[in-house]
Amino acid sequence: MVAGEPRDLPVPVEVTAFRVLQEALTNVVKHSRAHSAQVTVGYEADGVSLQVADDGRGTPPGAGEGFGMTGMRERIDALGGRFEAVAASPSGFVVRAWLPAPVDA
């Protein structure tokens, strides 16, 4: 799903967005046992938001953050963005990210 008016993004933002979506979807396939996943890319005036939500088994209690999650967080932090990965209710998992990309940049 795409929200907002799609536009060109700065190359570092575009590459990071691609890699984050790629890793989040890889995690859905490898770990979630989901029946479906939804990807949303939101074009905002000051940036781009990303969300990958699945209907899988969520995160087992006590599970730590793996290399994939750490890599996503580091890529986003390097550009001054925000990252969140949480279990959804009643089941599933959601990865959310926001990257700065002002329209006039």
Is the pLDDT higher at 87 or at 21?
21
Q: What is the torsional sign of CA 15, 18, 21, 26? A: negative
Token pair, residue 97, equals 């990210």
The pLDDT value given to residue 63: 58
pLDDT above 60: residue 58: yes
Query: What pLDDT, in 10s, does the model give residues 73-104?
Result: 999 999 999 999 998 888 899 999 999 998 87
The bridge status of strand 82-87 relative to strand 37-43 is unpaired
Element (H, E) at 14: helix 11-27
CA gap 62, 70 in Å, rounded: 16
Q: CATH topology for 2-100?
A: Heat Shock Protein 90 (3.30.565)
* Cα angle for residues 104, 42, 94 (degrees, 5° grid): 140
Task: Summarize pLDDT for 39-53 with one digit per residue, the tens.
Answer: 999 999 999 999 999
Domain ranges of the chain: 2-100
